[in-house]
Amino acid sequence: MKHITFYLDFISPYAYLAFEHMPEALAGVSHSVSYKPVLFAGMLKHYGQLGPAEIAPKRDWTYRQVLWLAHSKGIDLQMPAAHPFNPLALLRLATACSSPAEAGAPNRYVCETIFRHVWRGGADAADPQRLEALSQQLAPQVHRQAEEAKALLKNNTEEAISRNVFGVPAFEVDGKIFWGMDALPMLRDYLTGSEWFAGNGWDGVRKVEAGITRKN
């Protein structure tokens, strides 16, 4: 049975959609999953990139597309009152809920609760009163103090970058990274033993030379 590490940030609508759609996308395929919250903004800084919501036309397109994707997949999604927002409180709450045996990896219930706090109902995800209510709801799941939760989030983000994760959602299996909700069919193909992955299609792309590089 293959194990999937699912890197996610609750700020990402694509991560939410992938989280909700994954059970259907991988139905009938034997696998296990660890959910690891990461700071997407930290990845963007590391790679020197802007986030999708920091480019105005791309921001509009992103929101239109995720609303359509949710509609097409039958997934309940409403844009929060403000986006982007600071997700640190949510991410640290998630890592605080990771069990003693799974440091930095909260269970699916915790991730589902936080994702739906953000992406269902259209309210402000960072509203202090809502955050307090969410914290109270998840209080029975909390196993770690604030400083440890903060350190675990940092560790998760550094681990993801060290494994060449550059965005969310990302799925790591056997050292291979599958990026984005639209990679779920490709992930399923790998998990079911497709011969394609034994050929040059995966590693061969590294031999393609860059014909030009952009000057800063």
The confidence score (pLDDT) of residue 155 equals 98
Full domain range(s) for residue 70 = 2-193
Q: pLDDT digit string (tens) for 55-94?
A: 999 999 999 999 999 999 999 999 999 999 999 999 999 9
Check residue 214 and give its pLDDT: 80
CB 180, CB 10: distance < 8 Å: no
Containing 4, the helix (H) or strand (E) segment is strand 2-8
Amino acid in the structure at residue 212 = I
Asked if residue 125 belongs to a domain, the reply is yes
pLDDT of residue 202: 93
Task: Determine the average pLDDT of the residues in 200-208.
Answer: 90
Q: State the average pLDDT for the chain.
A: 96
Counting the structural domains of the chain, the total is 1
How is 7-42 classified by DSSP, letter by letter?
Answer: EE-TT-HHHHHHHHHHHHHTTT--EEEEEEE--HHH
The number of beta carbons lying within 10 Å of the beta carbon of residue 171 is 25
Whether 178 maps to a domain, the answer reads yes
Is residue 88 domain-resident? yes
- Rounded to two decimals, the pTM is 0.96
Q: Indicate whether 208 belongs to any domain.
A: no
- In a domain? residue 200: no
What's the one-letter identity of residue 45? K
How far apart CA 130 and CA 136 sit, in angstroms, is 10
Q: What is the pLDDT of residue 20?
A: 98
DSSP string, 101-119: TSTT---HHHHHHHHHHHH
pLDDT in tens, 110-148: 999 999 999 999 999 999 999 999 999 999 899 899 999
Range with lowest mean pLDDT among 54-58, 91-95, 188-192, 207-211: 207-211
Give the CATH number of the domain where residue 50 resides.
3.40.30.10
| 180: in domain | yes
The verdict on residue 209 lying in a domain is no
